[in-house]
Amino acid sequence: MDFSDPAIWTLILFVVPLLVKVPIAMALGGAAVAVVHFWDMGLPMISYNFFAGIAKFPLLAIPFFIMAGVIMEKAGIAERIIDLMKKMVGNMTGGLAIATVAVATFWGAVSGSGPATVAALGLILIPGMAVAGYDKPFAAATVSVASGLAIVIPPSIAFIVYGGVANVSIPALFAAGFIPGAIVAFFMMGAVYLVSKKKGYGGGEPAKPGETFTAFKRSFWGILAPVIILGGIYGGIFTPTEAAAVAVFYGLFVGVFVYRKINSLKVLYEILSSTVVATSVVMIVVTCAGLFSWVGATVGLIEKAAGVLLGISQSQWVILFMINIILLLAGMVLDAISIYYVFLPILLPIMAHFGWDPIWFGVMMTINLAVGQVTPPVAVNLYVGANISGLTIEDISRPAIPLILGALLALIVVILFPQLSTWMPNMLGLN
C-alpha cells in the first residue's frame, strides 16, 4: 500500500473518523479538506465546490418536498387517509398491518422522506395497532420499515439526489419508481399477513354501511395531492422542482381553508422550524459529500475503486451481486444521500462498462437504501419509530426482520426484471 498516494489517505481520513462515530458530514468534509490542504490542490476549490454542490435547480425541490410533507401532516391529511384504510380492510387477518403498509405507500407520494413518514404516521398508527391487540414492537416495526417506501414511491428526495449525481432525468426516475414501489409494498403486505396469521392479529371494527364512502369524502383532498403533483410532472405542466412548490401551496390551501388545521401562527412556525432543521441536515451532507466526491475523482480514488471491482470478475451477475451487498452494508452505517455521493461516482463507470440502464440501476440502488434505513446500527427509521413508541431499537429490530426479508425478495424481482423499472418511463416518453 502506497501511503504517499492521496487516494489512500482520502479513504483513511474518511473511514477512521466514521469508526469513532464522527458525524457523517464532518467525516466526509474533513477528509476532503485535509487532502486538498496537504496535497496543495487549491484551497479556493473548497469554497467553489461547496457552492457548486448545492447551487443546482433540481435540489431546490428537496426543501419544498420536506415542507410539503410537514404541512400535509399538520393539515390532518395523514389522519384521514389512515381512517379510510382502516375502513377498507375491516377485520380481515392482519388488516391494520396491511393498512399500515398501504398508508405508508400512499404517504410516500406526499413526503419523499422515510423518517418524516415514520413521524407523520407513527403517532397515530402505533397506538392504534396496540389498542387493536397487535404487539407494540411489531406495530412500531411495521410503521418504521414500511415508511422506507417513501424514498421509492415518487416524488422521492432520494431520486432527486440520484438524478443530480448521475445526470439522469428526475421525471423518468419518478415514473420508474411506481411499479417497483408497488412490488415492495406487496411483498411487505405478504410478510405482515403471514406474521398476523401466525399470531392471530386482526383488523379493526368492520365498517358500517356508508362509513367507507364517508371516510373517502373526508380524505378526498389528501388523495388528490399526489394526483396533482405527479400528474403535473408527467403532463409536462411543471418540473419536479416546480411541483414541489405547488405541493407546498396545495398543502397550505387544504390545511388553512379546507381542513382548517393550520389555524395559527404557532402552527406555521412549527412547520417552518421543522422544515429548516430537516433541510439543513440534508444540505450539509450534500455539500460535504459533493466535496468528497470531487476530491475522490481528482486523486483517482473513484477510478481505482471501480478498477478493483471490475478486476474481480467480468461477469455482470457477480459484479451486480457484489454491488448489492456493498450497498446493503453501506446502508447500515451511512445515510442514503452520502451513499449516492460516495458510491455512485464509482459505480457509474461500471454501469457504462456493462451497459446497464441508469434508470433501472437508480431504482435498484434506492430500494437498497430503503432497506438500509431500517438495518442497524444506523437505522434512522427504526430510531424514529422507537422514539415515538417509547421502545428501544432492540425491541423493534427483531419484528422488523420479516418485512426486511419481504423487501429483499422484492429487490431480487426488480433486479431480475429491469423492465419493471423502465416500462413506465418508456411509455410516457420520459427517457
pLDDT category at 207 given cuts 50, 70, 90 is: low
Q: Is 424's pLDDT higher than 80? A: yes
Q: Is 203's pLDDT higher than 70? A: no
Q: According to the model, what pLDDT value does residue 431 have? A: 65
CA–CA dist 427, 431 (Å, integer): 9
Q: According to the model, what pLDDT value does residue 343 have? A: 85
C-alpha cell at 52: 457548486
Q: Is 346's pLDDT higher than 90? A: no
Contact (CB, 8 A) for 398 and 137: yes
Q: What is the pLDDT of residues 102-125, one digit of tens each?
A: 888 888 777 767 777 887 788 778
Q: Note the pTM of the prediction, 2 decimals.
A: 0.84
CA–CA dist 11, 207 (Å, integer): 58
Residue type, 81: I
Q: Is 197's pLDDT higher than 80? A: yes
CA–CA dist 110, 375 (Å, integer): 24
Instruction: Give the domain ranges of the chain.
Output: 57-288+299-427
Burial of 143 from C-beta contacts in 10 A (0-12 / 13-18 / 19+): buried
CA–CA dist 179, 2 (Å, integer): 47
C-alpha cell at 207: 365498517
Q: Is 190's pLDDT higher than 80? A: yes
Q: What is the mean pLDDT of residues 72-89?
A: 80
Q: What is the mean pLDDT of residues 177-206?
A: 86
Residue 196 CA, distance from chain mean position: 26
CA–CA dist 166, 159 (Å, integer): 10
User: Among candidates 365, 417, 413, 319, which has minimal Cα distance to 168?
Assistant: 365
User: Among candidates 10, 40, 42, 124, which has minimal Cα distance to 78?
Assistant: 124
Q: According to the model, what pLDDT value does residue 418 have? A: 93
Cα 289 to Cα 14, 21, 48, 354, 380, distances in angstroms: 11, 17, 14, 26, 19
Neighbours of 216 (CB within 10 A): 15
Contact (CB, 8 A) for 76 and 297: no
Q: According to the model, what pLDDT value does residue 416 have? A: 93
CA–CA dist 421, 275 (Å, integer): 31
The 3-state secondary structure of the chain reads CCCCCHHHHHHHHHHHHHHCCCCHHHHHHHHHHHHHHHCCCCCHHHHHHHHHHHCCHHHHHHHHHHHHHHHHHHCCHHHHHHHHHHHHHCCCCCHHHHHHHHHHHHHHCCCCCHHHHHHHHHHHHHHHHHHCCCCHHHHHHHHHHHHHHHHCCCCCHHHHHHHHHHCCCHHHHHHHHHHHHHHHHHHHHHHHHHHHHHHCCCCCCCCCCCHHHHHHHHHHHHHHHHHHHHHHHHCCCCCHHHHHHHHHHHHHHHHHHHCCCCCCHHHHHHHHHHHHHHHHHHHHHHHHHHHHHHHHHHCCHHHHHHHHHHHHCCCHHHHHHHHHHHHHHHHCCCCHHHHHHHHHHHHHHHHHHHCCCHHHHHHHHHHHHHHHCCCCCCCHHHHHHHHHHCCCHHHHHHHHHHHHHHHHHHHHHHHHCCHHHHHHHHHCCCC
Q: What is the mean pLDDT of residues 69-98?
A: 80
Q: Is 308's pLDDT higher than 70? A: yes
User: Among candidates 81, 244, 283, which has minimal Cα distance to 156?
Assistant: 244
